[in-house]
Amino acid sequence: MIRFERAGLAYDGSEPVLHDVELSIGEGELCLVVGATGTGKSTLLGAINGLVPHFTGGTLTGRVTVAGRDTAHHPPREYADLVGVVGQDPVAGFVTDTVEEELAYGMEQLALDPAVMRTRVEETLDLLGLAGLRHRGLHELSGGQQQRVAIAAALTTHPRVLVLDEPTSALDPTGAEDVLAAIVRLVHDLGITVVLAEHRLERVLQYADRLLHLPGDGTVHDGDPATLMAAATVAPPVVHLGRLAGWTPLPLSVRDARRHGSGLRTRLPEQPRTPHHDSHATTAPVLTAEDVIVRHGPVVAVRGASLTLHAGEVVALMGRNGSGKSSLLWALQGTGRRDGGRIRVRGTDPKTVTAAAARRLCGLVPQTATDLLYLDTVAAELAQADRDAGRATAGRARAILDAVAPGIADDHHPRDLSAGQQLALVLAVQLTADPGVLLLDEPTRGLDYHAKDGLRHTVAALAATGTAVIVATHDVEFATTIADRVVVMAEGEIVADGPAPAVLTASPSFAPQIAKILAPLPYLTLDQVRAAWTPAS
Amino acid sequence: MRKARLPRALHPVAWWLWAVALATAAGRTGNPLLLLLIFGVLGVTVTLRRTDAPWARAFRYYLTAALVIIVIRVVFRSVFATGTAPGDHILFRLPHVPTPAWYAGIQLGGPVSLEAVLSAALDGLRLACLLCCVGAANSLANPKRALRVLPGALYELGVAVTVALSVAPQLVESVQRVVRARRLRAGRTSGLRALRAIAIPVLHDALDRSLRLAAAMDSRGYGGTGTATASSRRWTGLLLLTGLAGLCVGVYGLLDVTVPHAVGLAGFAAGALLCAGGLYLGGRRVSRTSYRPDPWQWPEWTVAAGGLCAAVVLAAGSGYDPTGGGALRWPTLPLVPALAVLLAAAAALASPPPPVRSAP
């Protein structure tokens, strides 16, 4: 179906991103593309329908063909009937404003007969479970629904290949499951070839027929998921556990691992010997919030939330999209709206002091971290951060950045950095003010395992110095490795607040993979299993 | 119930024809009762036939604007006194502000007569009525669906407008987000330096978004099936330009009394023909179909015809009241024009009711 023949791609004046790639993807395969940021995943995906190089520039060597059609001779629009493309942010790709019109858009461009369009729209609405939403405006939908509409819109032209670039990165666990279930159904029912890039392997690995691993040197490693995973440097917890226990074939899903795991469960002690992570929590409260209310017009975003945060404590704030996590964080910082309730950070209400004082009490890294960056170079941003924090001596921001993510050159443009580096820069900017409380809103969005590890170390180091941290996240595995406490929100209310092991093992959708495999044993992380592990004699 | 009358959205062009016709009618009358009648018809139709979409809620803003127009008109007429005829009823006198000699044409202040105020109010009412007709069309017809009716040659223009319509709110949202984020760095949110700190992330955002939209549209086949050759493109341009020139000559001929009527008509017809040819030629290069096009059935004909009928009757002069503010008497409602306006109302209500959206 898709063939890469000695394909290489280089952008002007730099090392080739892909080099001599030989690849052949057959009909009805679900192909998972993995690799760290900047290894060429998006380039590989874009090359399939000719967006790379026709749209992005760069030089293509070798040949890329889809169903015999060579991308060198056909622009992307001539692949509309053959390749459906769904990006990371579905909203950015919407052309019309209602679900039904969006589904029809691609077919209108191909000049299909109105009667054909009508039947295809109906069948696609059913295929992706969107029939109830057909007249709704695209911007009223939740993230998961929007992503399913984007997939449906790509499907109406009956493509034989579907290319998805991180389709679940912005979604909560339930929304992500919906989207993945839809994709798997397409592969099984319609035999569509799916090429999917994803950072969060734990979500998709089990569905993949084939793995393309991009190590970053321009090559592509291609193979069976279980085989490649045995040696891969990035792997979800289930694979790490499988390797530790020596299971063959290597399990890729929780179900497979549980079937292997009964023996393991009997050999592990009832209680883990070590905590799920090194806690620095103290009992000195730094932030108290009582009955916080936030309203946006008629919508009540936060409905009387109360929360106490102690020095050195790391709290994961979880809940589905739109449950009020961001509104709560903004209210706690003092910049956002607050329509009721009491907030004290070290005895001061952050709303009553100046913005400069508020950021010394509470630093917030917003969801779109790049909103904070506006200068031309990293050095200029860091110097500005020193000035913003009112520091007499320069260099503090640089020192923090080097501790968070070493090796970011002064002369780089902040917008050219990878998502992980941008986050590090924004963190450095905010930490220059030495806030006693740090609030992070969805920091793991778009980060690879490596960048997430870096973030984890940064958060742990901050907690060790007594900073209290709240991380709003959908990423269960990440929350498991950093949080002392987990707070779950739903419809603006706090529905669960307790120690991470208790909350994370209580609900299936917020449980990490290790907990799901080893339930009812209260293990959360691989390190806990490793510490308690006594190999069978 | 007949199929054409089942709840659905009426063809946007039908609403526009109806509203423009009513606007023409309003422009041709000086009778305040007729104008008020037209207002009433607009109000009833919009209330009964609009959907619950965002643009459909715009009518009350047009009404507010209409009120403002009338007030401004009356205030200006009172302040810039334009003289009073002998025998006018003087209401009150504003202090007279002497103007320099080189500014002699305009008087500030002075006596304000009842006649002047009434005629200003009437002028304002007529203008307000025109505005509300446009407002009614905007509230009744989905603007994006109206753009779909554009001929193929102008398709790109329609797409550009549609994209701009959806980008504008995103830009506003983006500015709000960045301003809020700016406060997190304790940066100032006003002044020249703040402008840079806000504008740069917003522009980056907008550029990123438009590039992604362009990539998405390209992948989905936008502009895909074109067969335009360079020569056909040149011909299209030539035909459209000469056609437009012809139209200009024609309109000039029709309006200027010293030019023979026939010359104007001929120029107009030739221009229209050339334009149509250009649009046809240009439209051939794009081949696309449209999903669930709005049907044009008898309710569409009825609505458009009802509006046109009112326009023709009033344009024929039967509704024009030349006395205006000349004599102070209660105006009478002329029978035939009033019936014509009511006919337009009846035609509008013959349209199918708007579709009911199921609750989410």
Segment B5-34, tens digit of pLDDT: 888 888 999 999 999 999 988 888 888 899
Regarding whether B307 and B274 lie in a shared domain, the answer is no
Regarding whether B306 and B277 lie in a shared domain, the answer is no
Confidence of residue B95 (pLDDT cuts 50, 70, 90): confident
Among B181, B224, B293, select the one facing A109 at the smallest CB separation: B224
pLDDT of residue A142: 83
Whole-angstrom Cα distance, residue B132 to residue B42?
A: 8
Strands A362-365 and A437-441 turn out to be: parallel
Show the DSSP H helices in B80-191 as ranges: 114-140, 143-147, 155-184
SS3 A363: strand
Regarding whether B241 and B136 lie in a shared domain, the answer is no
- Residue A348 gets which letter from DSSP? B
List, for residues A102-127, the tens digit of each pLDDT value.
Answer: 999 999 988 899 999 999 999 999 98
Structural tokens at position B52: 């619950």
Regarding whether B89 and B18 lie in a shared domain, the answer is yes
Among A93, A107, A358, select the one facing B291 at the smallest CB separation: A107
Whether omega before A53 lies within 30 degrees of 0, making that bond cis, reads yes
Regarding whether B142 and B36 lie in a shared domain, the answer is yes
List, for residues A289-346, the tens digit of each pLDDT value.
Answer: 999 999 988 889 999 999 999 999 999 999 888 899 999 999 999 999 999 999 999 9
- Calculate the average pLDDT of chain A: 90
pLDDT of residue B324: 47
pLDDT of residue A368: 87
pLDDT at A402 over 50: yes
Whole-angstrom distance between the N-terminal and C-terminal Cα of chain B? Answer: 28
Of A149-153, B60-64, B264-268, which range is least confident?
B264-268
User: Looking at CA atoms only, how far is residue B186 from chain A in angstroms?
Assistant: 5
User: Which residue does chain B place closest to A429, by CA atoms?
Assistant: B185
Q: Count the helix, strand and coil residues of chain B and give each as a percent rounded to the nearest 5.
A: 70, 5, 30
Regarding whether B302 and B277 lie in a shared domain, the answer is no
Confidence of residue A2 (pLDDT cuts 50, 70, 90): very high
Query: Which of B304, B327, B354, B335 minimizes the C-alpha distance to B37?
Result: B335
Query: Which of A48, A35, A39, A46 minimizes the C-alpha distance to A19?
Result: A39
Using the beta-carbon criterion (under 8 Å), do B215 and A55 form an inter-chain contact? yes
The number of distinct structural domains making up chain B is 2
pLDDT at B360 over 50: no
Phi, psi for A267 (deg, rounded to 5): -90, -10
pLDDT at B359 over 80: no
Whether B313 contacts B37, CB under 8 Å: no
pLDDT of residue B278: 84
User: Looking at CA atoms only, how far is residue A371 from chain B in angstroms?
Assistant: 5
pLDDT at A236 over 80: yes
Whole-angstrom Cα distance, residue B33 to residue A162?
A: 64
Examine domains A2-225 and A285-506 and report if their fold is the same: yes
Whether A504 contacts A528, CB under 8 Å: no
User: Looking at CA atoms only, how far is residue B209 from chain A in angstroms?
Assistant: 6
Confidence of residue A441 (pLDDT cuts 50, 70, 90): very high
SS3 B332: coil
Regarding whether B142 and B29 lie in a shared domain, the answer is yes
List, for residues B150-208, the tens digit of each pLDDT value.
Answer: 777 777 788 888 778 777 878 888 898 888 888 898 877 777 878 888 888 899 888 88
Using the beta-carbon criterion (under 8 Å), do A374 and B200 form an inter-chain contact? yes
In a domain, B354, yes or no: no
Per CB-CB distance under 8 Å, the chain B contacts of A140 are 360
pLDDT at A467 over 90: yes
Among A89, A108, A154, select the one facing B291 at the smallest CB separation: A108
Structure-model confidence comparison of residues B85 and A213, the more confident one: A213
List, for residues A483-497, the tens digit of each pLDDT value.
Answer: 999 999 999 999 999
Using the beta-carbon criterion (under 8 Å), do B219 and A330 form an inter-chain contact? no
Residue with tokens 């406490």: A485
Whole-angstrom distance between the N-terminal and C-terminal Cα of chain A? Answer: 49
Structure-model confidence comparison of residues B59 and B99, the more confident one: B59
pLDDT of residue B24: 87
Structure-model confidence comparison of residues B86 and B352, the more confident one: B352
Per CB-CB distance under 8 Å, the chain A contacts of B213 are 92-93, 95
Q: Give A391-423 as a DSSP string.
A: -SSTTHHHHHHHHHSTT--TTS-GGGS-HHHHH
Regarding whether B244 and B344 lie in a shared domain, the answer is no
How many beta-carbon pairs under 8 angstroms link A with B? 159
Would you identify the CATH topology of the domain A285-506? Rossmann fold (3.40.50)
Regarding whether B323 and B264 lie in a shared domain, the answer is no
User: Looking at CA atoms only, how far is residue A110 from chain B in angstroms?
Assistant: 6
User: Looking at CA atoms only, how far is residue A445 from chain B in angstroms?
Assistant: 17
pLDDT of residue B225: 52
**Mean pLDDT calculated for residue range B76-92:** 76
Per CB-CB distance under 8 Å, the chain B contacts of A430 are 184-185
Question: Final residue of a domain: which of B285, B307, B323?
Answer: B285
Among A110, A354, A388, select the one facing B185 at the smallest CB separation: A388
Among A96, A112, A355, select the one facing B186 at the smallest CB separation: A355
Whole-angstrom Cα distance, residue A253 to residue A230?
A: 14
pLDDT of residue B132: 94
Confidence of residue B325 (pLDDT cuts 50, 70, 90): very low
CB atoms within 10 A of CB B178: 24
Confidence of residue A537 (pLDDT cuts 50, 70, 90): very low
In a domain, B71, yes or no: yes
Q: For residue A370, what are the contacts with CB-CB under 8 A and spacing of at least 6?
A: A414, A415, A422, A426, B201, B204
- Calculate the average pLDDT of chain B: 83
User: Looking at CA atoms only, how far is residue A424 from chain B in angstroms?
Assistant: 15
In a domain, B220, yes or no: no
In a domain, B194, yes or no: no
pLDDT of residue A300: 92
Per CB-CB distance under 8 Å, the chain B contacts of A157 are 220-221
Amino acid at A278: D
Q: For residue B171, what are the contacts with CB-CB under 8 A and spacing of at least 6?
A: B202, B206
Per CB-CB distance under 8 Å, the chain A contacts of B209 are 92
Structure-model confidence comparison of residues A472 and B142, the more confident one: A472
> In chain A, where are the structural domains located?
2-225, 236-267+507-537, 285-506
SS3 A6: strand
Using the beta-carbon criterion (under 8 Å), do B222 and A109 form an inter-chain contact? yes
Residue with tokens 């709206």: A337
Whole-angstrom Cα distance, residue A334 to residue A449?
A: 32
In a domain, B291, yes or no: no
Of A11-15, A76-80, A134-138, A498-502, which range is least confident?
A11-15
Per-residue burial over A71-97, b = 16 or more CB atoms within 10 Å of its CB, e = otherwise: beebebbbbbbbbbbbbbbbbbbbbbb
The CATH architecture assigned to A2-225 reads 3-Layer(aba) Sandwich (3.40)
Q: Give A256-310 as a DSSP string.
A: HHHHHHHHHHHHS-SS-SS-SS-----S-EEEEEEEEEEEETTEEEEEEEEEEEE
Confidence of residue B286 (pLDDT cuts 50, 70, 90): low
Tell whether the torsion through CA atoms of A159, A160, A165 and A170 is positive or negative.
Answer: positive
Whole-angstrom Cα distance, residue A532 to residue A518?
A: 13
Q: Could you list the residue range(s) of the whole structural domain that residue B247 is in?
A: 233-285
Angle of helix B298-313 relative to helix B12-27, nearest 10 degrees, comes to 10
SS3 A340: strand
Confidence of residue B260 (pLDDT cuts 50, 70, 90): confident
Whether omega before B352 lies within 30 degrees of 0, making that bond cis, reads no
Whether A47 contacts A40, CB under 8 Å: no
Environment class of A351 (CB within 10 Å of its CB; exposed 0-12, middle 13-18, buried 19+)? middle
Confidence of residue B291 (pLDDT cuts 50, 70, 90): confident
Regarding whether B336 and B252 lie in a shared domain, the answer is no
Among B178, B180, B212, select the one facing A93 at the smallest CB separation: B212
Of A130-139, B102-111, B340-349, which range is least confident?
B102-111
Mutate to test the interface with B, among A55, A79, A99, A109 (most CBs of B within 10 A): A109
User: Which residue does chain B place closest to A55, by CA atoms?
Assistant: B215
Per CB-CB distance under 8 Å, the chain A contacts of B182 are 371-372
Confidence of residue B249 (pLDDT cuts 50, 70, 90): confident
Q: Count the helix, strand and coil residues of chain A and give each as a percent rounded to the nearest 5.
A: 40, 20, 35
SS3 B183: helix
SS3 A319: coil
Strands A161-165 and A83-86 turn out to be: parallel
Whether B271 contacts B261, CB under 8 Å: no
Regarding whether B318 and B262 lie in a shared domain, the answer is no
